[in-house]
Structure 1
Amino acid sequence: MIKDMIAGLFGKGVEEITPQEVADKDIPVIDVRKKKAYQQGHIPGAINIPYGEFEKDHPKLANLDQEQEIAVNCVIGASSKKITRLLNEAGYEKAKSMKGGFRAWDDKVEKN
């Protein structure tokens, strides 16, 4: 039981998606980085809900379909796992953490 709680806290078992898949599929992105980091650069169309302000019923989630695939990104992919777990528990079962976070997006996504 304690092992499951710890896994939940750290996002273990959360599905991941690569930055290239996010770009190719053109799916909604929730960016949980701080507002200043978001303003300095973000995935086009990403919704910014900073980690410290995230709630399962945040108003910015209202326009997202719980049945659609959603990517969650942070700086390196750790905080996004925790938020993805919360989203999964709130009914967003297709939410996935973006592997490597925004750094991976910035470094690896082919710009067309």
Structure 2
Amino acid sequence: MKTLLATIILAGLLSCQSSKPGFRSVSVDDFQHLIADTSVIRLDVRTAKEFDEGHIPNAVNIDVLQPDFLQKALSSLPRKRTIAVNCRSGKRSKKAAELIAKKGYKVVELDAGFNGWIEEGKEVTKE
């Protein structure tokens, strides 16, 4: 009986793990460490207006709220490189990260968003 119960619990845990979104959410410091690798693509999924007001250096902007987001992302992001995604607060980037990860990309998402990046005093550019 105990073995059966342990098997059921283990199966439940494994099924929960398989339903994870397929990306990692990381802290500001971990995100900064990750993007220090120049092979990592920095993807900002905020609006163009938000992006123009300031963004993480060397980021590309594809607005996740646009209906053609996934099409643009898939056509412009190299599948073999890690994609580091951010938005303002972390909500939109999680949505974008899930969409991209479902297509087979390795994705890491900035949990605290651009606001957290700024609060930590990290580098920002308007270029």
How far the C-alpha of 1:36 sits from its partner, in A, is: 0.9
Is the 2:43–2:59 contact (alpha carbons within 8 Å) kept by the matching residues of 1?
yes
* Per-residue deviation, residues 14-57 of structure 1 (Å, max 9, x unmatched): 31133322443342111111111100101111111112115322
Which one is further off, 41-50 or 11-20?
11-20
Q: Say if 1:104 and 1:19 are closer, same or farther in 2 by CA, change over 3 A.
A: farther
- 1:100 matched to 2:116? The reply is no
Deviations 1:35-81 (A, max 9, x none): 111001011111111121153221x5434221211111110111101
For the residue of structure 2 that corresponds to 1:71, the secondary structure is strand
Q: Which residue identity does 2:23 align to in structure 1?
A: V
Tell me, what secondary structure is at the counterpart of 2:65?
helix
The change in CA–CA distance for 1:55 and 1:36 in structure 2 (over 3 A counts) is: closer
For 1:7-46, what aligned pairs fall within 5 Å after superposition? 14-17=23-26, 18-26=30-38, 27-46=40-59
Helix, strand or coil for the counterpart of 1:56? Answer: helix
Q: 1:55 to 1:104 in 2, by over 3 A?
A: same
What TM-score does the superposition give when structure 2 sets the normalisation length?
Answer: 0.66
CA distance in 1, matches of 2:64, 2:76: 19
* Residue 96 of structure 1: how far off its partner (Å): 1.4
Q: Report SS of the residue matched to 1:83.
A: helix
Give the RMSD, CA atoms, in angstroms.
2.5
Q: Give the TM-score taking structure 1 as reference length.
A: 0.73
Structure-2 change in CA distance of 1:61 and 1:108 (3 Å): farther
Q: Which runs of 5+ in 2 are unaligned?
A: 1-18
